[in-house]
Chain A
């Protein structure tokens, strides 16, 4: 176990009162939003101490979301790779098919506590949009989801799902027309509607207290995984792997393991088509500290502080920033971050489908690819847990499109 070289410095008692994870985080937003963020932080504190809130949340997670999600021993995949045992944390079997619902149910309960009736959200792959639309239908809240026009195209089934549940989907046509622009547009809506509207941010990004709230609601993933490992293996896993876009499934998976220094943690970003600027979304590998969407964290920016365009085959990882706690974990050495190319993710998608009969989300396929790579290098008595953050049904059409394009290119070079 090579990790963690500097674990003495890492703490799970973050953020501080100002929303700082070490040097990262904070709150960089227009003054208009300050009061609402203060209110949200106060409401969350009171909810956290309220046993009734916790009881209602637990009940919903059990009966509505379907938790705990299984920890599945992927034996055929393990045999295929020939190394450490591969276990999948099955967030894909949650209601709505991804981990995103853990957070939206929690924040919808907060919205009700605050007496707000309208919710806005951003979405990339559409999973957070669907999870928000679902929670809003369940709690009778008005719901508007901002989604980049490019993602509306790539993730058409999710757009239809959101509309079926009564949400309004507003395509965003500015900038790169992906997740980053959807966040901008949601923030602008919130600037005008803040007195009556709650913004259900979907990842561990944005101004304090969002990175903390989303991490806490997602920590159910890591808490369950930890308990399931102790029950099934009689010990903690050797390596835990999760994909990182904004970083919500990975933050929820890693956080409960942060102080278990024997557990190695690996975050996998989108390596896209290559290492050149604009070809990937590997913020922690190639970015620098800067300010984007309300917090100080690693970000893909040029020398003037303008946000760079990024690329990933997976809409959920196609984001030029990352949650501030990941930046903190990177700089303290607690989590190692790497990246996975589009093609490697597609190959992992195919392999899991064939070997285990599971279609993983393209986002999760990034984590899976690197987990298999690591498992091959390790002895059979080690255990590698992968967060299978979502299911891949939404990606099938896009994969078919990409394949038919590359087939056409191969025939007519």
Chain B
């Protein structure tokens, strides 16, 4: 599952990148809605959000582009979006507008279980997924409660930290995901730090999906200054490399994506 920032460097490129990633066989794409103050993001995604916002892109423009491209993709899209944006746009309005654009769900990284009721109710009514996150610092009983309230899939954050490529993932990661695996019917997707084929081979046996963000977004940095076809090909090749590592791994189930 790739993550890319909407509107970096512009919305035309976003549409092309989504098509490229769908064509390479990615199962689901996470689309980052740029936000001015992203607390959970490392330098690569921060810089990408800053580039997108520098051209004064509006949420309505992003959703219009997504709406135009989703029918051609055959790959569900979920938005990664700060609650600051959802709240200001209006909770019901956000879900309705995103759904209208063909978006399947939302990951709201700064919305905790305790504050999520209003949005969760709207999502349930609109048949729109609200994907919740579990992290290494989440106590186990709380992780189970979060899994019960998540819909679509459960996002397992691999590291205690912010987004960004890591050479090494935590030793107990596989074990912790396997523990949770036994306690939820939901697909579990792992994100943060994943960027290499060996990460994919390590995690594929316990996960239903793997999310790759910064490694792709880092390549987008040059989309404004280099030929777009080249940048798109590089992004596609990274997706290929990671997808083939996934296929090599036995017993992998594709994510029951979308809902």
Contacts and interface: CB of A to CB of B under 8 A. Distances in A.
A389 B220 CA distance: 47
A191 B36 contact: no
Interface string A18-36: 1000000011111111111
B197 interface: no
Interface residues of A, number: 35
Interface in B99-155: 109-112, 114-115, 132-139, 142, 146
Interface string B49-80: 01001000011000000000000000000000
Contact of B87 (A175, A305, A307): A305
Interface stretch (A50-58, A87-95, A285-293): A285-293
A156 B255 CA distance: 54
B202 interface: no
B39 interface: yes
Interface in A281-308: 288, 290-294, 296, 301, 303-307
Given A28-B112, A191-B162, A303 B139 contact: no
Contacts of A195: 137, 160
A180 B36 CA distance: 10
B35 A306 contact: yes
A26 B37 CA distance: 18
A34 B59 CA distance: 29
Nearest to A208: B114
A187 interface: yes
B112 A191 contact: no
B222 to A, nearest CB: 20
A304 B36 CA distance: 10
A359 to B, nearest CB: 34
Interface string A169-185: 00000110000100010
Contact of A188 (B59, B132, B160, B162): B162
A266 to B, nearest CB: 29
Interface of A is mostly: mixed
A305 B39 contact: no
A307 B37 contact: yes
A192 interface: yes
Contact of A32 (B84, B111, B135): B135
Contact of A27 (B41, B88, B112, B133): B112
A143 interface: no
B110 A30 contact: yes
Contacts of B58: 304
B40 interface: yes
A29 B39 contact: yes
B87 A32 contact: no
B110 A305 contact: no
A291 B134 contact: no
A200 interface: no
A18 B89 contact: no
Nearest to A18: B114
Contacts of B50: 174-175
B82 interface: yes
A347 B134 CA distance: 53
Contacts of A251: none
Contacts of B134: 31
Contacts of A307: 36-37, 84
A122 to B, nearest CB: 12
A311 to B, nearest CB: 16
B39 A184 contact: yes
A188 B85 contact: no
Contacts of B85: 304-306
B157 interface: yes
Contacts of A306: 35-36, 53, 85
Nearest to A304: B59
A152 interface: no
A194 interface: yes
Contacts of A36: 137
A29 B116 CA distance: 12
B161 interface: yes
B39 A175 contact: no
A32 B157 contact: yes
A305 B133 contact: no
Given A184-B39, A290-B88, A301-B88, A35 B137 contact: yes
Interface in A278-337: 288, 290-294, 296, 301, 303-307
Contacts of B5: none
A292 B137 contact: no
Contacts of B132: 31
A408 B1 CA distance: 58
A151 B203 CA distance: 44
B46 interface: yes
Nearest to B108: A28
B54 to A, nearest CB: 11
Contacts of A293: 37, 39
A393 B83 CA distance: 40
A303 B162 contact: no
24 contacts: A29-B39, A30-B135, A31-B109, A31-B135, A32-B160, A33-B137, A35-B137, A36-B137, A180-B37, A191-B161, A191-B162, A192-B160, A195-B137, A290-B84, A290-B87, A292-B37, A301-B84, A303-B88, A304-B58, A304-B89, A305-B35, A306-B35, A306-B36, A306-B85
Interface of B: 35-42, 46, 50, 53, 58-59, 82-89, 109-112, 114-115, 132-139, 142, 146, 157, 159-162
Given A28-B83, A188-B162, A291-B84, 14 more contacts: A27-B112, A28-B110, A31-B112, A32-B135, A32-B160, A35-B137, A184-B39, A188-B42, A288-B88, A291-B110, A292-B37, A301-B88, A305-B87, A307-B37
Lowest 8 CB-CB distances: which A-B pairs, in order?
A: A305-B88, A192-B161, A305-B85, A291-B84, A305-B84, A306-B36, A187-B39, A307-B36
